[in-house]
Chains A and B, each alone.
Chain A
């Protein structure tokens, strides 16, 4: 192993971490407003990948350039997931909002199970993993001639930075962002101040789901589409959100990147190939360490629970 390999693994880790960050943003925004771990978020990411799969199959028959194809795929799957995210919040979570949080958590697990199993039905997708159409993947996985990076790595890294930048701008500079910050600061007080909390919560679900869909499409091109792909990625993205400090947008980005780099370096650089399977556990070890020593995360604020 030499410096070149290390640099390559680092950049690959960044690109993986960027995808974690995209998913983690959805977790962090929902947790910020509702104090709910949206277990179904990982499966929204899966639905994004599946929608992208169908749209790509349809689009790849047109003779248009690859970047246009990708844009169509991304927009279609992001909007589909936005609708799905809105629907999940509106019909599964909103009626339960006044109930104990554990009820909400179990409902989220239920929604997650529902999506996973519904998409294993042959009518919707089927249980066997599939790949995106050849003409799309082959072009996107071409190397760019720098440290063995593929176009997809560059794309996912830059796309995540753009999207996170956009989200930061929304949170800091728009009225919706102001409302969002108010709601996550003090839910009840925000309601009293005339903020339409339902709209803010819907916004977090819509935007978070769209981001997850983008991550889903990018990952599905890199690996494959699988109705259970959301479990592991969802969990790890959640860990990234906790690591960065749940509720914090920049924390989600930082946590995602750190997690991506740690995992990639462990798998490809530090652990010998025989033990590289253990690197899957790294995220969970990080989770437990962070929960024990700094539950507020790297960038989160410490809150004191009052009686």
Chain B
């Protein structure tokens, strides 16, 4: 299995060094978090939190839309599932006096739980709808997102768990920057590794040409559903973070517009480019907050107008997004060598990646 499709020049560091680096980054967040929490004003902390959550959302949507080439317009729905799962269970624990002192355990178990429920939802949505293509798929996922939102809006309680429907749910604030950026690291590194693994080639093959991929023995349905489930998992975690980082969650915050916003991030960053999408998520979260401070210019009202003009303009001028499919540090030449298959090579096709 070694060296299938290896790009000789692409590996700067050996794999263990990369893993160690990721671990170090995560470990460094703990002391850093303390410093930031003490030194920086709460408003900036809040923006940083939001940026982190949006990075997770955009990166996970990028796996579905950019890398696997599907089109999901219901990503906020999965975030809602995660947010409400985590929030509702935390509230239940708090009401039964079993939360105090166990916040760490609760957070490390409940965020993945929210993600898993969202992933299960993703499977449920993905298995029937992924037979659809392009715009039909977009509309079907949009439909599912809206159904999730409508159900939450109209539900007051499920068994012993309070949901409180349209009034919104108050959840104790447990997540700080550490938790948020822990998951940013897990999500970005995880998806990066996935895409650059042998398996990742199959996702890309589904995007490039589904029929050719099938002919090469890639089980396209499996990989589409897998991408959908992984994307939904991280969206669920991001939702859980949102529930525990801010005071209130509200079904209105997980609507169609929100899903569109994540699509905008993926598209502007460059569908398929992980660093590009992270960059877009940072800029598109940070920029509106900066515009907010220019109240005298009435830019506050204009920011969404500017967003949409940006989106249309981008499509007209550079539809592949800021970075296209490149990563931040890739040069044009590298892109060319990575994309054009070398015909004289004896490397076998990607047939062995099927399940």
Seen from chain A, the residues whose Cβ lies within 8 Å of a Cβ on chain B are: 36-37, 92, 95-96, 99-103, 105-107, 109-111, 113-114, 116-118, 120-122, 231, 235, 238-239, 242, 275, 277-278, 280-281, 284-285, 287-288, 291-292, 295, 307
Please tell me if the beta carbons of A118 and B305 are within 8 angstroms of each other in the complex.
yes
CB distance from B130 to the nearest CB of A (A): 11
Residues of the B chain whose Cβ atoms lie less than 8 Å from the Cβ of A102: 71, 134-135
CA A275 to CA B150, docked complex, whole Å: 11
* B71 (CB) vs chain A CBs: closest residue: A102
Which of B18-26, B32-40, B141-149, B232-240 contacts its partner?
B141-149
Q: Which of B92-100, B198-206, B289-297, B306-314 binds A? A: B306-314
- The digit string for B129-141, where 1 denotes a CB below 8 A from any CB of A, is 1011011101110
Q: Are B319 and A96 in contact (CB under 8 A)?
A: yes
- Residues of chain B lying within 8 A (CB to CB) of residue A118: 305
- Among B256-314, those with CB < 8 Å from A are 256-257, 260, 263, 267, 301-302, 304-305, 307-309, 311-312
- Which of A37, A113, A278, A291 is within 8 Å of B308, CB to CB? A113
Q: Evaluate contact between A278 and B146: CB separation under 8 angstroms.
A: no
Question: What's the minimum C-beta distance from A79 to chain B, rounded to whole angstroms?
Answer: 24
List which B65-114 residues lie within 8 A (CB) of chain A. 71
Contact of B150 among A95, A100, A280 (CB under 8 A): A280
In this complex, which of A36, A106, A111, A120 has the most chain B Cβ atoms within 10 angstroms of its Cβ? A106
Binding site for A on B (CB under 8 A): 71, 128-129, 131-132, 134-136, 138-140, 142-144, 146-147, 150-151, 153-154, 211, 256-257, 260, 263, 267, 301-302, 304-305, 307-309, 311-312, 315-316, 319
Q: How far is the CA of A118 from the CA of B319 in the complex (A)?
A: 23
> With A235-B146, A277-B150 in contact, do A105 and B301 touch (Cβ < 8 Å)?
no
**A281 CB contacts on chain B under 8 angstroms:** 146-147, 150-151
* B-side contacts of A307, CB under 8 Å: 211
Measured between alpha carbons, how far is A109 from B154 in the docked complex, in Å?
27
By beta carbon, the residue of chain B nearest A103 is B319
Q: Which of B128, B135, B144, B309 has the most CB of A within 10 A?
A: B135
Q: What DSSP secondary structure best describes chain B's contact surface?
A: helix
| B301: A residues at CB distance < 8 A | 120-122
Assess whether A284 is in contact with B144, with CB atoms less than 8 Å apart. Answer: yes
In whole angstroms, what is the CA distance A235 to B141 when docked?
A: 13
Is the Cβ of A287 less than 8 Å from the Cβ of B143?
yes
Taking a contact as CB atoms under 8 Å apart, the answer to whether A105 and B319 are in contact is no
Contacts of B150 in A (CB 8 A): 277-278, 280-281, 284
Tell me which of A37, A117, A235, A239 contacts B305 (CB under 8 A).
A117
| Distance between Cα atoms of A110 and B312 in the complex (Å) | 5
Chain B residues near A288 (CB, 8 Å)?
128-129, 140, 143-144, 147
The CA of A125 and the CA of B175, in the complex, are separated in Å by: 39
Using CB atoms, name the residue of chain A closest to B320.
Answer: A103
The chain B residue with its CB closest to the CB of A122 is B301
CB of B134 within 8 A of CB of A101, answer: yes
B315 to chain A, nearest CB (A): 4
Q: Which residues of B contact A106 (CB under 8 A)?
A: 263, 267, 311, 315, 319
Contact residues in B for A113 (Cβ distance below 8 Å):
257, 260, 304, 307-308, 311
- CB pairs A–B below 8 angstroms (14 shown): A37-B135, A96-B316, A100-B319, A102-B135, A107-B311, A109-B311, A113-B311, A114-B305, A231-B257, A235-B256, A277-B153, A284-B143, A288-B129, A295-B132
Do A295 and B128 contact each other (CB < 8 Å), given the known contacts A99-B319, A277-B154? no
Min CB gap A266→B, angstroms: 12
The answer to whether B132 and A291 have CB atoms under 8 Å apart is: yes
Of A36, A107, A280, A284, which one neighbours B316 at CB under 8 angstroms? Answer: A107
Contact of B146 among A95, A114, A284 (CB under 8 A): A284
Complex CA gap A105/B311 in Å reads: 12
Q: How far is the CB of A296 from chain B (nearest CB, A)?
A: 11
Q: How far apart are B317's CB and chain A's nearest CB, in angstroms?
A: 10
Partner of B71, one of A99, A105, A275: A105
Rounded to whole angstroms, the CA-CA distance of A117 and B308 in the bound complex is 8
Complex interface: chain A residues within 8 A of B263 (CB): 106, 109
Contacts of B302 in A (CB 8 A): 121
Beyond the given A114-B305, A114-B312, A288-B147, please list 12 additional residue pairs across the A-B interface where CB-CB is below 8 A: A37-B138, A92-B312, A102-B134, A103-B315, A107-B312, A111-B308, A113-B260, A113-B304, A121-B302, A231-B257, A291-B132, A292-B128
Is A231's CB under 8 angstroms from B138's CB? Answer: no
> A291 vs B128: C-alpha distance in the bound complex, in angstroms?
9
**Bound form: Cα–Cα A36–B142 in Å:** 16
B135 touches A36 (CB 8 A): yes
A292 to chain B: which residues have CB within 8 Å?
128-129, 131
Distance (whole angstroms) from the CB of B251 to the closest CB of chain A: 11
Residue of A nearest to B319 (CB): A103
The answer to whether A278 touches B128 (Cβ under 8 A) is no
Which B residues are CB-close (under 8 A) to A107? 311-312, 315-316
| In the complex, chain B residues whose CB is within 8 Å of the CB of A238 | 139
The contact of A95 among B147, B211, B304, B316, by CB within 8 Å, is B316
Most buried by A among B151, B153, B316: B316
Closest beta carbon of chain A to B119's beta carbon, Å: 19
